[in-house]
Structures are given as structure tokens and as C-alpha cells.
Amino acid sequence: MEVRKSITHDLDNTNPQSGINNENKQNIALELLFKNKVLLALLLICCILSVTSGQFLSLNNFTNILLQSAIMGVVAIGMTFVIITSGIDLGVGAVLGLTSVIAAGMVSGGVPIFVVLIATIFIGAVCGLINGFFITRFNMAPFIVTLAMMAAARSVAMVYTDAKTISIYDNAFFKYLRSGEIIGIPIMILIPVTIFLISHYILRYTIFGRHVYAIGNNKKSAELSGINVKRIELSVYIIAGFLSGIAGILMTARLGSGTPLAGSNLELMAIAAVVIGGSSLMGGRGTVYGTMVGVLLINVINTGMNLMNISSHYQGLMMGLVILLAALIDSYGNKK
């Protein structure tokens, strides 16, 4: 009888309805809530804007939000790779502007489109290679190296165009890229979605992705475990430059021209999106999914403020508060 009572008591303790398991369920629910806090914030803001503005729920408005998020999203994905390794890239916006004017200049000069695309993306990747080379070869601070790249790329773009805009609005390929659709979905949206899926797979399911996280968690330990830290760090900066080149092509198509000031402050918005999406500036944590939600959140807030006729002078303040709140939540999460 005593044995039977003991068994019955043990079974009661493992019952799914027991207090212990209820507590576990609550902890799991809280963990899921914390992990998806940005998505919940996005949905909440969408609900508020749908009530305060009748235009927010229109199909045109959602399409515009996705188009605005496309270019920022491509750049932010590259930034995600860099930040997970505890690095930073302040030059992505200027590299976008440089590749944009180079693409427009080559098109206006009659260069075949295939060559234009390859050359533009290659130049973006080379800019990332230069960043990674100085950071890994000479152990220089990423902040300083990429700040120098930002200044240099913007200057080269200004010299290349003589500070003027190069119009290619009537070019057939860029017109198709700007307004073309595949199965009813704009190409300008399909390209970032494809890049998102590929990047998500790389970070989540490949050895390279695991090494990226390992370096961000502890660079010294990663090196001692046999990971080629310098090669991985060099690779993430090349990825950031590569994606900036693609974003430069998209920007040229969107504007129908190449302008040397394209991408101004985009690096700050990309960093903000990555941080808002849950990545840690200390490295070792972050997802492409979270980054894309952060990009959408930023653009939804900007669109909402425009629909409510809020002065642009206040929009920067609002965005600063959102970034600060995300950093505070991240800090609280780390402590917990």
C-alpha cells in the first residue's frame, strides 16, 4: 500500500494540470511574449493607426510601406550579420549611394545591363572587403574603419557625378524593376523577401551561421575552438557590402536615377532596425526575422506620423524614443 501511495503521489506531481507545470507554462508564455515583443508592438501600432487614420488600412498604403521597407531591409540584413559578430558598419548608406550612381552612370553610358549589375554588386562587395581587411588585418576598430568608408564612398560618389543626379528613368530594365510584378507581387518586394529567406537559412542552419554567433558570444573562445575568426569577420563585412550594392540597384530603380546623396542616414536606420529587432550590440544574439520586423516597425511609425500630419521635426524625436525603448528592453532582457 505504501508503494502504491508513493507512485500515486509521484504521478500527481507530474500531472500536466499540477502547479509546477502551470508555472512552467506561464514561464514559456512569458518567454514567447518577450521574444515576440517587437511583433506585438508592430501589431499594436497598426491597430492604433487603423483607428486614428482611415487611409492606413488601404492596400496602396500597405504596398507603400513594403516598398519603403525593401531597400532598408536589404541593408539591415547585412548589418545583422555584422552586429551579431559584435561589429558595426557605418558605411552601408554611403556605399549604397556610390553603387547607385555608378549603376546609373554605366547605364547612361550604354553599358549592357548584365555588366552593370555585376559591376555594381562587385563594387559594393569590394567596399565591404576593404572594411573587413583593415579590421581583421590591423585589428582596427570597426567604428573607425567604416566611418572612414562612409566619408570616402560619399566623396567618390560626389566626384563621380560632379554632385549631380544621373537620370535613367526611361531605361526599360530599371523601369521593369521599379514597377514590374511576378504573380501579382512587385519585384521590388520579391527581391528583399528572397534575400531574407537565404540569409535566415545561412544564419540558422549552416556552420558559417553558427560560427558568426560563436564569434559574437566570445571571440577568444571561438578562436581557441578552431574557428577562423578573421575569415568569418571578413566575410560578414563582404556580405554587408554585397547587400549594399544590391540595395543601390534597387534605389536606382526606385528613384529612376542615381544621386550621390542616396542612402543618407540609412546606416543609422539599419542599425536601429537591427537593435529594435532584438539583436544585441554586444554581439552573439540576433535574427534576420527580428530585423525585418524592426524595419517594418520603423516604416509603419514613419507612415503613421505622415498620415497624421505630424511635422518631420518631431519624427526624429519619436524614432529616437522608439530606439531608446528597444535598447532598454534589450538591457532588461539581458539582466533577466
For residues 157 and 101, the answer to whether their CB atoms sit within 8 Å is: yes
Instruction: Provide the β-strand partners of residue 167.
Output: 257
Tens digit of each residue's pLDDT (9 = 90 or more) over 313-333: 777 787 778 778 767 766 666
DSSP three-state, residue 55: coil
pLDDT at 140 over 90: yes
Which CA distances in Å does 194 have to 137, 160, 221, 321? 33, 31, 33, 31
Quote the CA–CA distance of 191 and 74 in Å, as a whole number. 9
Going by pLDDT thresholds of 50, 70 and 90, the confidence category of residue 27 is low
For residues 105 and 252, the answer to whether their CB atoms sit within 8 Å is: no
Tens digit of each residue's pLDDT (9 = 90 or more) over 117-138: 999 999 999 999 999 999 999 9
Tens digit of each residue's pLDDT (9 = 90 or more) over 148-185: 999 999 999 999 999 999 999 999 999 999 999 998 88
Quote the CA–CA distance of 134 and 298 in Å, as a whole number. 32
User: Mind listing the domains of the chain with CATH numbers?
Assistant: 38-335 (1.10.3470)
Quote the CA–CA distance of 12 and 112 in Å, as a whole number. 74
pTM of the model: 0.88
pLDDT at 187 over 60: yes
- Of 19-23, 125-129, 143-147, give the lowest mean pLDDT range: 19-23
Rounded to 5 degrees, φ, ψ at 216 are: -65, -35
Tens digit of each residue's pLDDT (9 = 90 or more) over 275-312: 888 898 888 999 999 999 999 999 998 888 888 888 77
Kindly state the DSSP code that residue 336 receives in the 8-state scheme: -
> What pLDDT is recorded for position 329?
66
> What pLDDT is recorded for position 15?
47
> What pLDDT is recorded for position 80?
97
Chain-centre distance for alpha carbon 279 = 10
> What pLDDT is recorded for position 9?
45
For residues 270 and 82, the answer to whether their CB atoms sit within 8 Å is: no
pLDDT at 13 over 60: no
Quote the CA–CA distance of 291 and 79 in Å, as a whole number. 9
Tens digit of each residue's pLDDT (9 = 90 or more) over 214-233: 999 999 999 999 999 999 99
pLDDT at 12 over 50: no
Quote the CA–CA distance of 189 and 254 in Å, as a whole number. 11
Residues in Cβ contact with 29 at an 8 Å cutoff, skipping those fewer than 6 apart: none
| Average of per-residue pLDDT across 85-104 | 96
